[in-house]
Amino acid sequence: MTKFFLYILKQLAFWLFYFILLQGLFLFFFLKELNAVSLSHILFTFKTGFFLNLSAAAYCTILPVIIIFIAGLSKMNGEKMVLAVTTFLLLCCSLIYVTDFALYHNWGTRINGKALWYLQFPGTVSASAGNLGHIKFVMGVTLVSAFGWFIYKKYLSKELQFKQQPIQLSLSFILMISVLFITLRGGISGRPISKGQSYYSKYPILNYAAINGFWNFFDIVSHYKSQGNPYHYYLTHELENLQIQFVKEYSSSSPKLSSIDKPNILFVYLESWGADVVGCLGGQLNVTPGFDLLTKEGLLFNKFYSTGFRTEQGLMATLSGFPAQAQTYPMETMDRFENYPNLIRELSSVGYFTSYFTGGNPQFANTDVFLQSAGIDKINKELLENAKRKSAWGALDEETFDWVLNSLKKQPTPFFSSMVTLTSHEWFEAPVKKIFTENDFVASNYKNTVYYSDSCLYDFIVKAKKQKWYDNTLIVIMADHACNYPLNRSMNDPERYHIPMLITGGALKNEYRGTINSNLGGHLNIPALVCNELKLNPEKFKLSTSIFNLNSFAYYTYDHGVGVMSANDFVVYDVNLKDIIRTKYKSDSLLKLGKYLMQSSAQMKEDYQTKK
């Protein structure tokens, strides 16, 4: 029994050491985020992450122990089988951790349900892997895993001959398995171990570093489907009172922007454009010279923020008034999309022809189902196959804009159309001219692709002015979301979500041309803006308010957190820490608003998806 116990202890110690090495590797890769953090606070992540690492080590130890037990009963040699199983587990861990590191690099989070959901779109997901951006992660994890495999083969894979009788061996096995089960569960208390126990810091990187990637992956898989509203800050009657207060404080009419009753409306979503590269918004100069020029003939909203960090989040917010969710992802459930309010449906009811254009795959993230459920008239599906020049995500923007230009002149009017650009999608490796060269080649590529998209946008507007439909059209140009480049902003940083938003077009009243609106706003304001413009009832879009309201606010979510901004303050609240991690004055009213929006929007999701 002693040898059996020592064998298990060595297996457990091996996996624990391996996971701690990977934890250290994660911190090493993202050292830039830890410049202002004390060493003691950084090292504390190993203490808080110890029990998740130990739990994961217990999971990885169970299968080899079972094999050795069976080998002991059958007198077979289990050495090769144990080595094969361990090799397989190391390969699985390597794949999980490379993905983990890449996701944190791009999304600011570890593997979550949203990332797993994207796996159903493998052709498009592969485009986000990047050719160079993740090589360091692959190399680092591979080296650690190869080192682990070498140590295991040399010192731990030798067959142990247990000379116990079958009954004695079986009793020893039952006892050891029970110990492992208690270990992986995190003890004998009533509540099993959870990743929430690893959260201790206002710096997200340290909390994520404390989460064991192997344990987290299988926890996500086993709890993949959402179980209702995860937020319970207010009772039902309190939530209803907050809804009344919300409408009273933030809803108001908007001035009519166009000079005609039913203008054509065109939404242009700019992929991954952040304010940090838009000169007229205080970003780096000369990256978007075309957009900067267009602001001289349009209405610029210079304090506009995205609701999330993925394209479908921006689409749902601007078309359905549905904000991004911190822990749930409404685009996964396709069978209730018809219950969501949608500008496409509302404008169709008053005679608008509706269409959607993309140079990529419209099926990605269930976008086509979402649009079709709203009754859209036309979804462009032909460009991806016919494009002459492509990036990993689809047709280059020049061809997309030309396709849209040729299509719009054939459409019935009035029309409500949307288009998305793609060339500036991560990892920004499109075949475009290299204008910017820096040590950070990903940041350079990002600016180069934005510069290219900017030139295509400007060229499109110049050509559009010659079309018959232009004089009767409002063109709403906005980013679908931003990204952390080029300044490597943290995922919870409010300025990471600052994006451009411009209304232009021939139908825009002269009094608004060349003007700037400095009210806070974001994607959620768009449905109310369109409804007010066309004298439609905006009440269906419960969380969409007027950006022209002097009390306007901006709201965004990221994995396990929410940010809310007002003219004088902002708060960023972490769901796991249950505390504010960024703020100016720590406004109680903003925190209350953020919690209300999280709970209310999650409840809306449940209501929409269960309504018959």
Query: For the segment 454-485, what is each residue's pLDDT rounded down to a tens digit?
Result: 999 999 999 999 999 999 999 999 999 999 88
Q: Is the dihedral of CA 349, 353, 359, 361 positive or negative?
A: positive
Report strand pairing: 501-504 vs 473-479. Answer: antiparallel
- With respect to residue 170, please indicate whether it lies within any of the assigned structural domains: yes
CA–CA separation, 385 and 403 (whole Å): 13
Q: What is the pTM of this model?
A: 0.79
Asked if residue 216 and residue 72 are part of one domain, the reply reads yes
Matching residue, tokens 């995500």: 393
Of 554, 570, 601, the residue that ends a domain is: 554
Which tokens is 528 given?
A: 């109310």
Q: CA dist 502 to 252, 258, 270, 384, 450, Å? A: 21, 14, 11, 27, 16
Q: Can you give the pLDDT at residue 513?
A: 97
Query: How many helices, marked H, and strands, marked E, lie in the chain?
Result: 20, 17
Category of 488 on φ-ψ map: left (φ > 0), alpha (ψ -120 to 50) or beta:
left
Q: Can you give the pLDDT at residue 335?
A: 55
Q: Can you give the pLDDT at residue 603?
A: 85
Matching residue, tokens 């209730």: 336
Q: Can you give the pLDDT at residue 117?
A: 53
Q: Rg of the chain over CA atoms, in angstroms?
A: 27
* Residue ranges, the chain, pLDDT below 70: 1, 72-78, 112-133, 158-166, 168-169, 189-191, 222-228, 327-336, 609-612
Which tokens is 336 given?
A: 């209730």
- With respect to residue 611, please indicate whether it lies within any of the assigned structural domains: no
Q: Can you give the pLDDT at residue 345?
A: 94
Which amino acid type is present at position 366?
N
Q: Verify cis geometry, omega within 30 degrees of 0, for the bond prior to 427.
A: yes
Q: Which residues pair with 515 in a beta bridge?
A: 299
Asked if residue 448 and residue 542 are part of one domain, the reply reads yes
Which tokens is 130 given?
A: 């990047």
Cβ partners under 8 Å of residue 604, min gap 6: 322, 542, 543
Asked if residue 280 and residue 382 are part of one domain, the reply reads yes
CA–CA separation, 528 and 274 (whole Å): 23
Residue 534 contacts residue 284 (beta carbons within 8 Å): no
Which tokens is 225 given?
A: 């489907």
Which tokens is 592 given?
A: 């209350």
Q: Which residues pair with 579 in a beta bridge?
A: 574
What three-state secondary structure class fits 432? coil
- With respect to residue 569, please indicate whether it lies within any of the assigned structural domains: no
- With respect to residue 582, please indicate whether it lies within any of the assigned structural domains: no
CA–CA separation, 363 and 60 (whole Å): 37
- With respect to residue 212, please indicate whether it lies within any of the assigned structural domains: yes
Of 222, 256, 284, the residue that ends a domain is: 222
- With respect to residue 584, please indicate whether it lies within any of the assigned structural domains: no
Question: By residue range, what is the domain housing residue 118?
Answer: 2-222
**How many domains are contained in the chain?**
2
Asked if residue 163 and residue 34 are part of one domain, the reply reads yes
Report strand pairing: 415-420 vs 299-301. Answer: unpaired
Asked if residue 310 and residue 169 are part of one domain, the reply reads no
Beta strands per DSSP E along 285-377: 299-301, 304-305, 353-358
Asked if residue 479 and residue 363 are part of one domain, the reply reads yes
Sheet holding 521-522, edge to edge: 498-499, 304-305, 521-522
CA–CA separation, 138 and 29 (whole Å): 12
Of 554, 589, 606, the residue that ends a domain is: 554
Asked if residue 174 and residue 51 are part of one domain, the reply reads yes
Residue 348 contacts residue 534 (beta carbons within 8 Å): no
Burial grade of 466 (CB within 10 A; 0-12, 13-18, 19 or more): exposed
Which tokens is 18 given?
A: 């391996």
Nearest C-alpha neighbor of 8 from the set 51, 50, 80, 69: 69
Asked if residue 308 and residue 207 are part of one domain, the reply reads no
Asked if residue 278 and residue 209 are part of one domain, the reply reads no
Q: Can you give the pLDDT at residue 76?
A: 66
- With respect to residue 596, please indicate whether it lies within any of the assigned structural domains: no
- With respect to residue 293, please indicate whether it lies within any of the assigned structural domains: yes
Q: How many residues does the structure list for the chain?
A: 612
Asked if residue 130 and residue 23 are part of one domain, the reply reads yes
Matching residue, tokens 């404390």: 210
Nearest C-alpha neighbor of 534 from the set 257, 297, 319: 257
Asked if residue 320 and residue 197 are part of one domain, the reply reads no
Give the angle subtended at the CA of 210 by the CAs of 208 and 213, to the nearest 5°. Answer: 75
Q: Can you give the pLDDT at residue 491?
A: 85
What's 522's domain CATH number? Answer: 3.40.720.10
CA–CA separation, 246 and 600 (whole Å): 11
Asked if residue 191 and residue 56 are part of one domain, the reply reads yes
